[in-house]
Amino acid sequence: MVFDAIVAGAGIWGCTVARTLADGGKRVLVLEKRAAVGGNVRCETDPETGIEVHLYGSHIFHTGIDEVWGFMRRFTEFNGYQHKVLARYGGKTYFLPLGLALVNQFYGIDLKPEELPAFIAKEAGKTCAEPSNFEEQAISFIGRPLYEAFIREYTRKQWGTDPRNLSADVIRRLPVRASYDVNYFPDWRQGIPLDGYNAVFDRMLDHPGIEVRCSAEFRLDDPEFAPSAERPVFYSGPVDELFGYRFGHLPWRSLRFERERAAVKDFQGTSVVNYTGAEVDFTRIHEFKHYHPENRGAMEAPSTIICREYPKAWKPGDEPYYPVDNQASRELLAKYRAEAAKVPGLVVGGRLGEYKYYDMDKSVARALETAKAAC
């Protein structure tokens, strides 16, 4: 097949680009350096219990974007799972995000919805006019007691530094809900694919105009796959890696996952529990069976699969997860973007390419926009 476009990287951004180009009549070659498509949304089914295990941390699809929802439902039906996150602090379990359920339990009071904003404002007290770091910004939003209980140590673990070293921008949108709504995401359209994430990616790439090659890494200096105005390359790997780290490594935070089979039917009663204190090194525990309550066989299995998530400093060879947004990284990113702009036919996108953490729906939206512009 003679190809009209190459997509390098078969995560959710790359698969969406490839399918949209193919639907527009393009012949597309997809190159994926891993042995299977799906990127960090890739899962595996535990043969003993039938539990779908998320290999790279939990992924819950949710969106408020009509076009994205319509696109994804071409390839799957969702099970209607509504994500709820619990937090362990001081030997007690609380519902996140910050709202009436958490505040009333934490303070031992019984606020009504109209009373919560004034109470939070009182707890926040007088703060500087313009908070200069993460900690000051958080305290100005919710007050010191809630900050110290649910945010300070969790953030220290997540980012590997004192929150006072982080920019105030990191927490500008901390939500406080004046209600008992304990759904973690505000989007009513959410869930897990009924037949699993892997099937979604397989269907997205199942098109006569798409050829997929796994265990095939893209290199900019490979003449066989060189981008051009006539045959563009849509690249979603790390942008600094693409150019051989010539200006240095972009900083990331990474994760380590520690999975185990627990010999109990139900380990924690929900999908995700955050551990906000400093007494443990991990930030949360995932229990994957709860993502598919419709899978009665997995739900009733006498054992379960759990996963502890440990943030860690990134080094070359590790999986990059969270970009470290600071002045130095912005300046470095600008250099790599300038290099990419010099290459005719090269389009860099996705979480790694853009050096930006996207929820899945935002990644799909960006991919749709990018691919449509090329059709």
Active-site residue flag, 27: no
Q: Give CB contacts under 8 A, 24+ apart, made by 35-40.
A: 35/214, 35/215, 36/198, 36/214, 37/10, 37/201, 37/202, 37/205, 37/212, 37/214, 38/10, 38/11, 38/12, 38/197, 38/198, 38/201, 39/9, 39/10, 39/11, 39/12, 39/14, 40/11, 40/319, 40/321
Assigned token pair, 132: 């200069």
Tell me the residue length of the chain: 375
Active-site residue flag, 180: no
Instruction: Name the active-site residue from 177, 189, 351, 366.
Output: 177
Active-site residue flag, 330: no
Query: What is the longest distance spanned by two Cα atoms in the chain?
Result: 68
Instruction: Name the active-site residue from 189, 284, 351, 366.
Output: 284
**Cβ-based burial of 144 (10 A; exposed 0-12, middle 13-18, buried ≥19):** middle
Assigned token pair, 311: 């943030």
Instruction: Name the active-site residue from 66, 110, 173, 221.
Output: 173
Active-site residue flag, 357: yes
38, 76 contact by CB (below 8 A): no
Single-letter amino acid code for the residue at 365: A
Q: What number of H helices and E strands is found in the chain?
A: 13, 18
**H or E element in which residue 14 lies:** helix 12-23
274, 300 contact by CB (below 8 A): no
Residue 126's contacts (CB-CB under 8 Å, 6 or more residues apart) are none
Instruction: Name the active-site residue from 19, 253, 351, 366.
Output: 253
Active-site residue flag, 336: no
Assigned token pair, 65: 């974007």
Instruction: Name the active-site residue from 46, 136, 153, 309.
Output: 309
DSSP letter for each residue of 15-52: HHHHHHHHHTT--EEEEESSSSSSGGG-EEE-TTT--E
10, 30 contact by CB (below 8 A): yes
312, 321 contact by CB (below 8 A): no
Q: Which residues are catalytic?
A: 173, 177, 253, 284, 309, 357, 359
